[in-house]
Structure 1
Amino acid sequence: MAKTFDYSLDVNPRKLAWSFNGDRIHASIPKCVVARWRGNIFEFQMYVMRNFIVVGNKTKPRTTNSNWILMFFQRITVTHVNNPSYPLEAFRFRSISDLLNAERLDDTYLFDMIAEVVGKEDPGDLVTSTGKETKCMAVVLEDLENNRIGYTLFGEMVDQIRPHLEEGSVEPLIVVL
């Protein structure tokens, strides 16, 4: 008999036994059990999970398009998959053209972009609506089709990118966002 699998888009809190294969779903580890999993769960890895709780996905921005999140609790078991039988796609790329031509962007869903930094403004200081002081810096990004888009970096990202934008650099600065 062929083994059947569930789709992550079909997840709901009414069922307790799920069997996924080759899909993505957001998982959350509450503070009360995070110490148990620290150093054992890593990004971009695959795991077999049992005994999790399903709750509504109210995170913003969303990491997946699922309406549900797998919630860890005391009885969950997790086993690392050493050699996955399908490729793990770590990125969900969108092009600058996709962004510029979209009628509406869903700002609740995360995606990735790769481009070259072709312009920059001097960093500035900013006070957020909550009164926190931070830095900001605008950059111009360009893709292989010569599409350009402005992008603003905040906080620690400004300090991380500045050394790579200093005068005298002969290599182009490619960023993955």
Structure 2
Amino acid sequence: MAESFDLLMDVSPKKLAWNFLVHVVRLWGGRIQASVPKALVRRWNDNIDEFKMYKMSNFIVVDKREKTKTSMNRWTLNFSHRTVVLLVENPTFPLQAFRLTQISELLNADRINDSQLIDIMGEVVGKEDPKELITSKGKETKRLAILVEDLE
């Protein structure tokens, strides 16, 4: 009997026993965001690699409506002590890691949602000096602006 998996479009906080087949694109973001609590980072740090496929199950689903969104999905999957992650040796579907956006499309856009992750291809031709910032939560950070040239 074939193993069954849940669909990301069905995610809700109504259950814990989610069962997904996923490609890990970025360890800090993706098409649905997953979060690993600080106490569990050491457990998963060396066991999950970018651009590999995994079977993942047993997440806590949280509504991230109030938080910064890095994906269009409303939900984030939080790892717990019960989360299971198994490497898939022979992936069953191709990895589509990037959603490339033309630089001209960004330049001509009326508005760009700066909380969404986008992928562009270009050559980095310069950078500005890092700027000191304080986040809305009072945390000190830096922002580095880079200059990208369209290769077309």
Query: TM-score, with normalisation over the residues of structure 1?
Result: 0.64
Which residue of the partner structure matches residue 7 of structure 1? Answer: 7
**Backbone CA RMSD of aligned residues:** 3.1
Structure 1 residue runs without a partner (length 5+): 145-177
Which secondary structure does the structure 2 equivalent of 1:103 belong to?
Answer: coil
Which secondary structure does the structure 1 equivalent of 2:122 belong to?
Answer: strand
| Structure with greater contact order relative to length (CA < 8 Å, sep ≥ 6) | 2
Q: Structure 2 matches for 1:69-148, cutoff 5 A?
A: 69-117=76-124, 119-120=125-126, 124=129, 126-129=131-134, 139-144=147-152
- Mapped to 2, the partners of 1:40 and 1:131 lie a distance apart of 30
CA contact (8 A) 1:22 1:86 kept: no
> For residues 52-98 of structure 1, what are the alpha-carbon distances to aligned partners after superposition, in whole Å with 9 as ceiling and x for unaligned?
11112355350x22111111111111101111111112212111121
What is the identity, as a one-letter code, of the residue corresponding to 2:133?
Answer: T
**Distance of aligned partners of 1:78 and 1:101 in 2 relative to their CA distance in 1, 3 Å threshold:** same
What is the identity, as a one-letter code, of the residue corresponding to 1:88?
Answer: L
Query: TM-score, with normalisation over the residues of structure 2?
Result: 0.73
- Mapped to 2, the partners of 1:52 and 1:133 lie a distance apart of 30
- Mapped to 2, the partners of 1:28 and 1:133 lie a distance apart of 21
**Distance of aligned partners of 1:49 and 1:100 in 2 relative to their CA distance in 1, 3 Å threshold:** same
Residue 106 of structure 1 deviates from its aligned partner by 1.5
What is the identity, as a one-letter code, of the residue corresponding to 1:143?
Answer: L
- Mapped to 1, the partners of 2:40 and 2:112 lie a distance apart of 35
Which secondary structure does the structure 1 equivalent of 2:92 belong to?
Answer: coil
Give the aligned length. Answer: 141
What is the identity, as a one-letter code, of the residue corresponding to 1:33?
Answer: L
**Identical pairs, percent:** 42
CA contact (8 A) 2:131 2:142 kept: yes
**Distance of aligned partners of 1:143 and 1:75 in 2 relative to their CA distance in 1, 3 Å threshold:** same
